[in-house]
A = this chain, B = another copy of it.
């Protein structure tokens, strides 16, 4: 009985944390990180401002959690794609495509990652770790491609970083060149250059 109520409590707590995470994410996606004030969050989650502090130490912990969750979901999906039994170039294409899709929905969350205000020592380290995991999935995929002879013997970490950069740039698309392209087309475009490069070898 005690164990039951203990479990109940944990479930309620976990549920509350999830609600707060989801509400926070919703607000960030709608209003940006500056729209996420504690009062705003509490109101939207239909609790009081003070209540939030029963579940989180402070605002930073909430934001960290939201980011971590987003990253977690992203990594899970990428790992699935990366683990499929298809040629390497298809895996990379799938990764790119997924990121384009995800980003178009989660753009504001990714913005937070870029916001220097949230680069404190602690979270900086977490960011680096998260990034490393992301890179590891891609570089692992590339490493496999090299081992299987599908890819050149490039530095996997470099190739992975570069791949990420290409995808990110088309995602953000500051100049609005690719806003008419869907994720499939964008992934095609990235892969075209990423696989073959731009140099005309035959011309040499």
Contacts and interface: CB of A to CB of B under 8 A. Distances in A.
A200 B116 contact: no
A117 interface: yes
A-side binding surface: helix, strand, loop or mixed? helix
A142 B198 contact: yes
Given A32-B116, A199-B150, A161 B178 contact: yes
A108 interface: yes
Interface in A109-144: 111-112, 114-117, 127-128, 131-132, 135, 142
Interface string A143-170: 0010001111011011101101111111
**Contact residues on A (Cβ < 8 Å of other chain), bracket:** 35 or more
A155 B189 contact: yes
Contacts of A178: 158, 161
Interface of A: 32-34, 89, 108, 111-112, 114-117, 127-128, 131-132, 135, 142, 145, 149-152, 154-155, 157-159, 161-162, 164-170, 173-178, 189-190, 192-201, 203
